[in-house]
Structure 1
Amino acid sequence: MNPVTGISLGRIAIGAVSLYDPTLAAKQLMLDPRANPQVPYVTRLFGTREIALGLATLLASGSARRNLVLLGVLVDAADAATGYLATKDGSAPVKAGQGMTAVASGAVVGGLLGLRGRGKKA
């Protein structure tokens, strides 16, 4: 499977879980919704973004698809940086921040590989 397709489907799946059961999604991200009751709200925002980006990428073609993949790489790089910063400022447990950084960094690599391997057909 093309890495871009895999990442797009993964975005949709993660987004759907985040919308349907934000508490479960937060726990999977090793966040504590009991300690911070705003976590489900933010998790739903994240889920909506993921579904929109995943669907738009799957439905696009040509340069529009390439641009959406590049946008996804930028979003994932920002997510990786956010996970890293969360471990440094204590806003998330170290293990949670490291996990989020690792997953987001993997998505960056997958997106870049998809662009590299498929040229403008990403």
Structure 2
Amino acid sequence: MIGVARGRVAIGVAAFALPGLTVKLMGMGGGSDAGRDYVTRMFAAREIALGAGYLLSKGPNRRLWARLGLVVDSLDTVNGLKSRGRLPLWVTAGAVGVAGGTAAVGAAKVGRDLLR
């Protein structure tokens, strides 16, 4: 989970600083688009907050941040699946793979916390 949280912060900082490049690398468009850049920065802020919240917390608060991350990653996975057919297959597969993978890591952490 610490690796996931660090990755969230890194991706968030990169996406906030370079939203056009981030979207281009994800295969979701190129060129200049102020609305897309705004939404990308909103995503970036969310990732920075989730990652930093987990890294800066301890004990029960850290468990709460893990649960919040699981909810977000689960919703991202559903969103990726809903985009199937409207985005290139490799884009959808990549998005669902990353979101689903982090949701699985989060689910394992939350499950372990609940069993303690």
Normalised-by-shorter TM-score class = 0.7 to 0.9
Q: Confirm or deny that 1:5 pairs with 2:27.
A: no
How many aligned residue pairs are there? 113
- State the TM-score, normalizing by the size of structure 2: 0.88
- State the TM-score, normalizing by the size of structure 1: 0.84
Contact 1:8/1:53, CA 8 A, preserved across alignment: yes
Report the Cα offset of residue 113 of structure 1. Answer: 2.5
1:112 maps to amino acid: A
Unaligned regions of 5+ residues in structure 1, if any?
A: none
Partner in structure 1 of residue 39 of structure 2: 42
2:97 maps to amino acid: A
Counterpart of 1:87 in 2: which secondary structure?
A: coil
Contact 1:80/1:104, CA 8 A, preserved across alignment: yes
Report the Cα offset of residue 116 of structure 1. Answer: 4.3
d(CA) in 2 for partners of 1:76 and 1:116?
15
Contact 1:29/1:96, CA 8 A, preserved across alignment: yes
Out of 92, 98, 103, the position equivalent to 1:97 is 92
Contact 1:32/1:39, CA 8 A, preserved across alignment: no
d(CA) in 1 for partners of 2:74 and 2:57?
21
Unaligned regions of 5+ residues in structure 2, if any?
A: none
d(CA) in 2 for partners of 1:57 and 1:20?
22
CA-based RMSD of the aligned residues comes to 1.6
